[in-house]
A and B are shown apart, each in its own frame.
Chain A
């Protein structure tokens, strides 16, 4: 019998701890597939964040370093400057990258660090129990914005890909989603191009992916996908915001 599908070798066999319906697993898989397809697993070092993906070093089947909250881009800088011939990526959530680690992300881009940053935006702090994130939408209810995010008090969400696309040192900035088979295929293309950017020595590469958090949004996985499509997709800038030929 022909084997038509096999799990990627880019991921380990360890069961993930992610909640049912969480889209982290999808993003992990497409990264793992790309690393396998490009034959990069043996020469890649991944950097994990603090947050829901704080155990991702167990899942990605390559050398991994754990960073402090928000510091993944800085740790990745240290890795890349030490092993310039290796492929280095970070995997960061919205609290990690867009709040406590904004400076590290922006300056890694400014320096044109040859790293690939995967940014997972689910508009909430997941690991700590659903608090307001820098990416939480206006009026969105969270455990620290129980009446909905107040623009007057808490300001507006940060659109990280849009911000980073303004930076000269950033060579590739893309913003996608993983809410449908179509968007997942698109997301994989973005991530592939991001790694190609690094391999070609073009500069900083970054892919933002809109993601769900059914548990902390208080929705079923299906409803969470709907909520993402109805609320997040209209709000955030999508597409390849900066690229190269």
Chain B
């Protein structure tokens, strides 16, 4: 463990990438994610890496594809409107089965939207965003420490599954300073990247490498897509992550990721003082969604999001129709207070 540092979430994400051995970063400035690119503009070259401020978000993600094809750890970061532009490249990266890390410090949408925190990119992050049959692993931290840890984890998961991994935060988490300690690198055994291009003279087998995703033979292409499907099924089985807070005796559960998950904990503390047995499920992996967390015998769930309600669809799929799943959301950069959530719990579940 490194020494304690007081850092903004965005800076911690950037430093964690360096500590994880990220060698290249390609990005474009956007509020509220700019500290990521600012930090890496000096830090990465200091650490022996390469940094490019790209001409566009589109160019940045395609530079990531080129770099990932070389087998080096690579990352790009942005905020919501920028992530929309990157979708094409993400689809190609998923199709080429290349590892990379993507950061989305969410702000309000649709459109140019606002600069405040939001979670309206859940669908885009979790359900695809780009074209075609692919999945992105999505991790949602709620503290600066967890953001740093998950960025390091993201690089490992990307290498393990040869897949893009997104760390989905929001404006609050990006701008907030908390204490962070960087953990030492991976303990995991990761596959050798013998598929990477580096010039055919460098390959032990002397064979050239091709990284591409173009199929004109439908049978071959179907076989490839099915292979992707099997990989995704394996990820769904092995990589579900979530945090539970006072769920053991809980009768009602708030479900919230990122910032909402933290606010919900404050609500639980207040509710418990009033004798309401409330707990929290905070999904950490948004894809794969932590379905296993929802095998609970409770009277109801309240899904809380900084959107009109997106994750609630996955909560409902996980819960089934046995238990009511209610929703409360704020939008436009507004964030609910713990008191507000407690009111909602009481109202939705008739606890007044």
Residue B199 contacts which of A54, A68, A83, A111 (CB distance < 8 angstroms)? A83
Q: 10 pairs across A/B with beta carbons < 8 Å? A: A58-B210, A64-B197, A65-B65, A65-B197, A68-B62, A74-B66, A77-B52, A78-B62, A79-B66, A81-B50
Q: Decide if A62 touches B199 in the complex (CB within 8 Å).
A: yes
Residue A78 contacts which of B55, B67, B201 (CB distance < 8 angstroms)? B67
| Number of A-B residue pairs having CB atoms within 8 Å of each other in the complex | 137
Residue B54 contacts which of A55, A58, A74 (CB distance < 8 angstroms)? A74
A74 to B52, CA, bound (A): 11
Which chain B residues lie closer than 8 Å to A223 at the CB level? none
Which chain B residues lie closer than 8 Å to A77 at the CB level? 26, 52, 59, 63, 66
A83 to B68, CA, bound (A): 11
Residue B211 contacts which of A55, A66, A86, A104 (CB distance < 8 angstroms)? A66
Q: Decide if B199 touches A79 in the complex (CB within 8 Å).
A: no
A58 to B215, CA, bound (A): 12
A63 to B206, CA, bound (A): 11
- Size of the A side of the interface (Cβ < 8 Å), in residues, is 39
Q: Decide if A65 touches B199 in the complex (CB within 8 Å).
A: no
Q: Decide if B74 touches A107 in the complex (CB within 8 Å).
A: no
Given contacts A43-B201, A57-B210, A104-B58, 7 further A-B contacts (CB under 8 A): A42-B200, A47-B66, A48-B212, A66-B96, A71-B89, A78-B26, A107-B59
Instruction: Determine how close the nearest CB of chain A comes to the CB of B70; give it in whole angstroms.
Output: 4
Mark out the residues of chain B between 44 and 72 whose CB falls within 8 Å of any chain A CB in the assembled complex.
Answer: 50, 52, 54-56, 58-60, 62-70, 72
Instruction: Determine how close the nearest CB of chain B comes to the CB of A217; give it in whole angstroms.
Output: 24
Which chain A residues lie closer than 8 Å to B26 at the CB level? 77-78
Q: Decide if B66 touches A86 in the complex (CB within 8 Å).
A: no
Instruction: Determine how close the nearest CB of chain B comes to the CB of A78; give it in whole angstroms.
Output: 3
A205 to B92, CA, bound (A): 26
Which chain B residues lie closer than 8 Å to A67 at the CB level? 62, 65-66, 92
By CB atoms of chain B within 10 A, which of A48, A57, A77, A80 has the most?
A77
Chain A residues within 8 Å of B, Cβ to Cβ: 41-45, 47-48, 54-55, 57-58, 61-68, 71, 74-84, 86-87, 103-104, 106-107, 110-111
Residue on B with the closest CB to A81?
Answer: B50
Residue on B with the closest CB to A106?
Answer: B55
Q: Decide if B197 touches A63 in the complex (CB within 8 Å).
A: yes
Residue on A with the closest CB to B67?
Answer: A78
Residue on B with the closest CB to A77?
Answer: B63
A48 to B67, CA, bound (A): 15
Which chain B residues lie closer than 8 Å to A66 at the CB level? 96, 210-214
Q: Decide if A82 touches B56 in the complex (CB within 8 Å).
A: no
Once A48-B212, A81-B52, A82-B72 are accepted as A-B contacts, the answer to whether A74 and B59 lie under 8 Å apart by CB is yes
By CB atoms of chain A within 10 A, which of B26, B56, B199, B212 has the most?
B199
A81 to B74, CA, bound (A): 11
By CB atoms of chain B within 10 A, which of A41, A42, A87, A111 has the most?
A42
Residue on A with the closest CB to B23?
Answer: A82
Instruction: Determine how close the nearest CB of chain B comes to the CB of A113; give it in whole angstroms.
Output: 9
Instruction: Determine how close the nearest CB of chain B comes to the CB of A39; give it in whole angstroms.
Output: 10
Which chain A residues lie closer than 8 Å to B60 at the CB level? 74
Q: Decide if A42 touches B74 in the complex (CB within 8 Å).
A: no
Which chain A residues lie closer than 8 Å to B96 at the CB level? 66
Once A48-B212, A67-B62, A107-B55 are accepted as A-B contacts, the answer to whether A82 and B200 lie under 8 Å apart by CB is no
By CB atoms of chain B within 10 A, which of A61, A68, A81, A111 has the most?
A81
Instruction: Determine how close the nearest CB of chain A comes to the CB of B68; give it in whole angstroms.
Output: 8
